[in-house]
Structure 1
Amino acid sequence: MNIDLTQGLLRDLGKLFENREDCNVVLRVGKNLDMSFHAHSIILKNRSEYFRYLITDYLKKESKLFKKEERRDYIVLDVPKISVDAFKIILRYIYTGYFSFNDNGINQEFLFDLIFAADELRLCDLVEFLQIHIVETNSNWIRNNLTKVYQLSLERNFVIIQDYCMKSLEKDPTMLFMSNNFFLLKESVLIKILKRDDLDLQEIDIWRYILKWGLEQDPPLILSDIKRWTNEEFYILEKRLHNLIPFIRFFSIPATQYYKEVRPFKNILPEKLREDIEAFYILSNNAPPPDALPPRKLYRRETIHRRQQMRDEINYNINYPTTNPRYSIIHLENPFQIDRNNITPTPAPPETPPYTLGNHKNISDSDIKTKNKLPIERENSPILNISDFKSSLINKHQAKRIIRWINDNKNFLVCGERVNNNSHVLELLSRGSRDGMFIGTFHSLCDNKGPTVIVAKVKESKNIIGGYNPNPWTSSNKWVKSAESFIFSFKSDGNREGIDDIILSRIKNPCAAIFDGDANYDVGFGLDLQLFLGTYERNYYEKKIMEEKRFTMEDYEVFLVKRVINE
């Protein structure tokens, strides 16, 4: 038979806290050490690693400095970093294990005095308990004091509070950067924030906030007319931002914004960085230097709101197809519709037959708007056969499989005549590891080219994912209707095509196939697959192509799809 009498034991130990009998430690507490507490060394040493070290060190020093008969009967320890009110509660907890939030005077501000004291005294269980209580019951107060709370959580490694703050920042980073106390953030804390790839702010906004932080340091610099700044003022600002500038991703800032808002402060940028930036903006198709930091993975509140608007618009267009949408959905030509100017003239029939889109719904000529001439290779011109295909991410078998998927939407007719759909050229337009993992670079190299296949390697996995856009990327910021687009996934390490390794997912709702955004939007396929953002959610394509909802692209390649036709 077992019996638990620990409550009685704790009650008796609590009596030691209430009287000074056999106390052998005097604790002088507070900034001015103007308050004394008495305690037992045996209790302090066994309950607190901090006191164990102080008492042991005190006794060692005393034994060296004084003879036994000259030593004091008690130990004197100074605790200047902890407030008197907080120490009263902490000392009672050390003796009794008791803590109550119902005690008078325990408000949000005082909770941080308590958790600081508990951490200083290495009371790990109490620190964890207080962290959980703070995030569960004081979320609004934390958000209103995010600068102070986040900085303390980093300095003290309060992991639970730190994680909570980061989740708040992921939802709305401006909570920190726009707070009144932002300028009080330490440089080391700012660097940790700037290092994050998932900091959800446009880079030009990050530059504005960091500039504001530098200007508001003591003594503040007045930004009235930058043209009238002296060399000394530029020197002061450069010293303040010197360690922060390497973590700002200048190559993600659009050229016009760089010219208006960054270039006036070019004197504070390192010379090599200035030269690299100017080369990037001035020289056509010039990629960022190899050591440039990649763009951040933006998933802003605006993006979430925009995605919901897009979702609502798609549903609205389905239910009310005759109503003009807020987001224009443009109907582009079939990817293999040959531009009529490149075909020997043939007498047109009374009515041009529709373009048959495999098993999908037919789209008549009246639905099709010519946008760009599609790339065509003649048989007598040099072409890249699939046997000569080279890629860093996929093998020839996988490339052939993608071509077959494109050809599955067969029986394309041009002016009533069948077009050969078996020969293709895959021309590499862009490779992330070669040209840079930048959305702006993607558009500069891939816009207005024609139909494209994008393949991407998922970091820390063997998965290859991607999709086919049968229409040119144009940065139109409009929805592009297509019944032929698809997304896919397969393993990257096999030389054979296994059924279990391949997933093809065709579009279910042509209105939601492609959002043709500019550099301010992600590159992807509808609302399902967002490549640079690294998100996947099955919405408007048939099958689920991967389990992960968040991922990171290790590399990507974009291929222009050209059809070879007979002369």
Structure 2
Amino acid sequence: MDIDLTQTLLRDLRKLFENCEDYNVILKVGKGLSFHAHSIILKNRSEYFRTIITEYINKRGDNFSNKLFKKDFITLDMPQISADAFKIIIRYIYTGYFSFDGNGINQEFLFDLIFAADELKLYDLVKYLQIYIVESNPNWIKNNLIQIYHTSFERNFTIMQEFCMKIIEKEPTLLFKSNKLFLLKESDLIKLLKRDDLNLPEIDIWRYIIRWGIEQEPPITASEIKKWNEEFVELERRLHNLIPYIRFFSISATQYYEEVRPFSKILSDKLKDEIDAFYILSNNAPPPDALPPRRLFRRETILRRQQGLNQMRGGNNYNNINVTRMNPIYHMNNNNNDNDNNLFQMNRNSIIPTPIPPEISPYPFEKHKNLSDLDIKSKNKIMCIERENSPILNIGELNSILINRTQAKRIVRWIGDNKYFRVCGEKVNNSYMLKLLMRGTGGDGMSRETFHFLCDNKGPTVIVAKVDKSKNIIGGYNPFSWTSSNKWLQTSESFIFSFKSDGNREGFDDIILSRIKNQTAAIYDGDCTFDVGFSLDLQLFLGIYECKNYERKIMTEKNFFVTDYEVFQVVKVCDDD
């Protein structure tokens, strides 16, 4: 039969620990406090002691092992370990047991304890202490986040690493707004900057790393910054390894001009040229090696959404709200077979509805001054308007799976009727190219983050979208650039439309054009926090339609889902005869 007398063994080892009979090791810990121990116990319980005791004996010669039995002691100095912490650890080594008063224990001492356990390679104890610290002292970790974050990576405390990263993912400002940010090691900061899910607007990240660089030793004062010429070299040196991980192409043109450009001396000439081209040239995309925008977590967005809803309910003026540009990505749920094609069925609750315009008042929109110049093909519906010298579509350039050439031609005519584009020379002979910027199901993705990354600062654009479980194609025209400015754009040139997806049909009932009637509420140029759409009428990501500020009703449904969409840059090609 089997008999388990483990408890008796542990009791006897505890006696050995308490009376230290026949000890052969003297441990001088901390500032010199001595502990007595047995080499056989230390070597078998700790990899650290096995290594250091073996090395000690080898250095003393072949006869030293024999001398140990004659009270020739092994003396080890361990000044790096706290004596108070070692009192608990030596008991654990002998008995597998330790205790401390969790309610009255000093948190710094607890960290000394895990530091000592790690130094002595007592990995089971290290794991337990990590769990204890995380579960019982989360606020202490938050208050000392920078030091603990650094130590957890330096010491490979994986449990504490994960906990710190969860804090930073949810509340990155706890770290970046800390007055101890300058203590964060460059390598630790790079780890954070590399993360696509760092939950901060890119312009805020830029501000924080500038602050980090300025506060490094020796710190640079504000007065010195204003005088800087060659001193910029020092800031560039400090930030040289961080700058490659800043997503400059996720920063708006205004933010770049106001906050990045003053420090442009620390950027490489190549990077400055790429950024300038991106903001100045309307058809220029980010370079191929540009890092993608970061993904923001739903928690942050929900807080902003709640704030936005509260402000709307309170009747506040959204023109005065300064919403920082964010780049959230929302993951699609394709587990439900009914929604396999519904790529827009994301976390709708994470989108702030388009804010109320500054004024909602009737706007006397006059579509045409001289109706005799027009050929109106339907008395009941103004849908198909032909005009002399109407602009034509450069057919060879159309790249679409949602609209055909006939529909594209019609959209171009609608744009041309607005006289938005100037004619070239005296003779009107204009053609337009609809240049595809993105397609939802074509690998670009269906998020507002991707939309703004690929479509901001591209000049006039047309959006077309396929409505789920119908043949309807809906869309709209924005004569301005999308810039994520969080401002209302006033124009009489924008319009929304709908037609059947089988565009070979030319029945008038299949085509509906709706021009803006309230120019103060034409387009809300929101960032990734808000929806993409046209006034309060057509909000694509939320799937909301209401005939309010545009002339005509383009669809009967008030709620809809979009299965795919395309965004085209409207490029004019002028031919002078």
What TM-score comes out, normalization by structure 1 length?
A: 0.64
Answer yes or no: is 1:188 the counterpart of 2:187: yes
Q: Is the 8 A contact 1:440 1:519 kept in 2?
A: no
Secondary structure of the equivalent of 1:224? helix
**1:92 offset after TM fit, Å?**
0.8
- Hey, what's the Cα distance between the residues in 2 that align with 1:278 and 1:380? 32
- Hey, what's the Cα distance between the residues in 2 that align with 1:468 and 1:312? 34
**1:437 offset after TM fit, Å?**
5.5
C-alpha distance after superposition, 1:123-176 (max 9, x if no partner): 111111111111111111111111111111111121111111111112211100
Q: Is the 8 A contact 2:438 2:567 kept in 1?
A: yes
Secondary structure of the equivalent of 1:78? strand
Q: Is the 8 A contact 1:118 1:124 kept in 2?
A: yes
* 1:528/1:175 CA distance change after superposition, 3 Å: farther
Partner letter of residue 6 of structure 1? T
| Residue of 430, 439, 446 corresponding to 2:438 | 430
In the other structure, the counterpart of 1:526 is 541
* 1:314/1:471 CA distance change after superposition, 3 Å: farther
| Residue of 24, 38, 41 corresponding to 1:40 | 38
Answer yes or no: is 1:61 the counterpart of 2:59: yes
In the other structure, the counterpart of 2:115 is 116
Partner letter of residue 40 of structure 1? H
Secondary structure of the equivalent of 2:457? helix
Q: Is the 8 A contact 2:130 2:157 kept in 1?
A: yes
In the other structure, the counterpart of 2:136 is 137
In the other structure, the counterpart of 1:285 is 283
* 1:327/1:223 CA distance change after superposition, 3 Å: same
Partner letter of residue 429 of structure 1? L
Partner letter of residue 462 of structure 2? K
**1:434 offset after TM fit, Å?**
9.6
Q: Is the 8 A contact 1:517 1:523 kept in 2?
A: no
Q: Is the 8 A contact 1:313 1:326 kept in 2?
A: no
Counterpart mapping for 1:231-380 below 5 A: 231=230, 233-299=231-297, 302-308=300-306, 327-328=355-356, 344-345=375-376, 348=379
| Residue of 462, 469, 475 corresponding to 1:470 | 475
In the other structure, the counterpart of 1:168 is 167
Partner letter of residue 187 of structure 1? E
What TM-score comes out, normalization by structure 2 length?
A: 0.63
**1:188 offset after TM fit, Å?**
1.0
Q: Is the 8 A contact 1:171 1:301 kept in 2?
A: yes
Q: Is the 8 A contact 1:429 1:560 kept in 2?
A: yes
Q: Which moved more, 1:307-316 or 1:135-144?
A: 307-316
* 1:294/1:326 CA distance change after superposition, 3 Å: closer
| Residue of 442, 448, 452 corresponding to 2:455 | 442
C-alpha distance after superposition, 1:397-430 (max 9, x if no partner): xx57x99xx9xxxxxxxxxxxxxxxxxx996333
**1:440 offset after TM fit, Å?**
4.1
- Hey, what's the Cα distance between the residues in 2 that align with 1:78 and 1:173? 41
- Hey, what's the Cα distance between the residues in 2 that align with 1:4 and 1:223? 72
- Hey, what's the Cα distance between the residues in 2 that align with 1:426 and 1:270? 34
Q: Is the 8 A contact 1:454 1:558 kept in 2?
A: no
* 1:83/1:273 CA distance change after superposition, 3 Å: same
- Hey, what's the Cα distance between the residues in 2 that align with 1:348 and 1:454? 28
- Hey, what's the Cα distance between the residues in 1 that align with 2:266 and 2:526? 31
- Hey, what's the Cα distance between the residues in 2 that align with 1:311 and 1:437? 24
* 1:307/1:207 CA distance change after superposition, 3 Å: same
Identity of aligned residues (%): 53
Give unpaired runs (5+ residues) of structure 1.
318-324, 331-338, 356-372, 392-398, 407-424, 456-466, 486-514, 530-539, 546-555, 563-567
What CA RMSD, in Å, does the superposition of the two structures yield over aligned residues? 4.7
Q: Is the 8 A contact 1:201 1:300 kept in 2?
A: no
* 1:235/1:6 CA distance change after superposition, 3 Å: same
Query: Number of paired residues?
Result: 431
- Hey, what's the Cα distance between the residues in 2 that align with 1:88 and 1:236? 47
Q: Is the 8 A contact 1:249 1:295 kept in 2?
A: yes
Partner letter of residue 108 of structure 1? Q
Secondary structure of the equivalent of 1:37? strand
**1:187 offset after TM fit, Å?**
1.0
Partner letter of residue 157 of structure 1? N
Give unpaired runs (5+ residues) of structure 2.
316-352, 359-366, 408-432, 489-493, 500-522, 533-539, 545-557, 571-577
- Hey, what's the Cα distance between the residues in 2 that align with 1:36 and 1:274? 62
Q: Is the 8 A contact 1:280 1:286 kept in 2?
A: yes
Secondary structure of the equivalent of 1:207? helix
Partner letter of residue 305 of structure 1? L
- Hey, what's the Cα distance between the residues in 2 that align with 1:112 and 1:192? 23
* 1:186/1:207 CA distance change after superposition, 3 Å: same
Q: Which moved more, 1:430-439 or 1:296-305?
A: 430-439
C-alpha distance after superposition, 1:485-542 (max 9, x if no partner): 9xxxxxxxxxxxxxxxxxxxxxxxxxxxxx965344377753599xxxxxxxxxx978
- Hey, what's the Cα distance between the residues in 1 that align with 2:123 and 2:90? 14
Partner letter of residue 287 of structure 1? A
Partner letter of residue 284 of structure 1? S
**1:281 offset after TM fit, Å?**
2.1
- Hey, what's the Cα distance between the residues in 1 that align with 2:398 and 2:487? 32
Q: Is the 8 A contact 1:453 1:558 kept in 2?
A: no
**1:302 offset after TM fit, Å?**
4.7
**1:207 offset after TM fit, Å?**
1.2
- Hey, what's the Cα distance between the residues in 2 that align with 1:47 and 1:174? 42
In the other structure, the counterpart of 2:211 is 212
Secondary structure of the equivalent of 1:449? strand
- Hey, what's the Cα distance between the residues in 1 that align with 2:263 and 2:392? 55
Secondary structure of the equivalent of 1:295? coil
Q: Is the 8 A contact 1:294 1:438 kept in 2?
A: no
- Hey, what's the Cα distance between the residues in 1 that align with 2:355 and 2:253? 26
